[in-house]
Amino acid sequence: MPVKSSEITPEKVFKRRRTLIAAGLGVLAVPLLDRGYGLLQQKPDEVNEPFAPVSAQLGRQSQPLTPTPYETVTGYNNYYEFGYSKDDPAKAAKTLMTSPWSVEIGGEGANKPGFYDIEEIKGEHAIENHVYRFRCVEAWSMVIPWNGIKLSDIINAAQPNSKAKFVRFTTLNDAQQMPNADWAGGPYVEGLTIEEAMNPLTLLATGIYDQPLEQQNGAPIRLVVPWKYGFKYAKSIVKIELVEQMPQNTWWLQNKREYGFYANVNPRFDHPRWTQATERVIGELGRKPTLLYNGYADEVGHMYPDLDNRLYFY
Ligand code: MTE
């Protein structure tokens, strides 16, 4: 559903957001400088109000979602292959060639492996609109109107067999086009369980605000998993594999103590260096309580029976 102009944040608020953005820190970058579990005191944001009691934080938010303005969604990014600052990707990623583009589907769990042209993916499957909250592990959040297809459409087309227990995503890693291609020592990789991948909320996004994705947002195709922290949203995907073993993911490889495989949003489990109980909503003043599974508990809670199992939440 297209976003109405009345839903866009007023200019005054947006200008203030610019100031906040200018002050932003690339906290995820810190572990790179300190792969041996840092003695780091840095916090992503100062917490300037008391935390709400846990019971209050777990409720579903009743307020309607107000999409974050296009300029902010496309100007405040994490895409380290193009630099560590939030404004680097918008400046440096313009040279990324996103057409032609094909995505390889394979792995031992796919009976029908193959290559899909991006236009084929868009053409064969309905492009849906989904306005989702986006919660970064750095404790800030946005609301993004995505266009895309359900990941389950692509998985079904690959005819999964009994070995398809996990899905592994590999993204483009091209030093010719990406000034910081080697930051993680290889391509950015991510993974989901097959159940998570087949959940109707999980998308392969090809656009936002009814426009094709810009390079800094992961053009031409990226993962969207709204109940998980933002680092799960692998950008510029070139390969999707249905596999039997749990895949390793880039941030876990960078720092096993701080980033895991599941990475479900949960206000009860803090990141080792900062709280996850609250978040800074980009463009708003103060902080808001973070919601269990980023507000999608009804849709995804059944996949995680043990709410106290820390494994699921980092
Ligand atoms: N994908 C690749 N290839 N490289 C990255 O550095 N950063 C991740 C994720 N996907 C990243 C990536 C992180 S940490 C976040 S928070 C989101 O992309 C940010 O997405 P956005 O810039 O569109 O908001």
For ligand 1, what atom is nearest to the CA of residue 134? 24
pLDDT of residue 179: 97
φ, ψ (nearest 5 deg) of residue 198: -85, -5
Closest CA to 221 of 142, 103, 124: 103
Quick check: 312 and 304 in contact, CB under 8 A? yes
CA of 212 to the centre of ligand 1 (A): 17
**Fold category of 5-313 in CATH:** Sulfite Oxidase; Chain A, domain 2 (3.90.420)
For ligand 1, what atom is nearest to the CA of residue 187? 3
pLDDT of residue 140: 97
For ligand 1, what atom is nearest to the CA of residue 89? 22
Is the CB of 146 inside a 6 Å radius of any atom of ligand 1?
no
pLDDT of residue 309: 86
For 300, the 3-state DSSP assignment is helix
CA of 131 to the centre of ligand 1 (A): 18
Average pLDDT for consecutive 10-residue bins of the chain (314 residues)?
Answer: 36 34 44 34 34 35 79 98 98 96 98 95 87 97 96 97 98 98 97 98 96 97 98 98 98 95 95 95 94 96 90 85
Mutation choice for ligand 1 from 78, 86, 213, 271, CB with most ligand atoms inside 8 A: 78
Query: Residue 13 belongs to what H/E stretch?
Result: helix 11-22
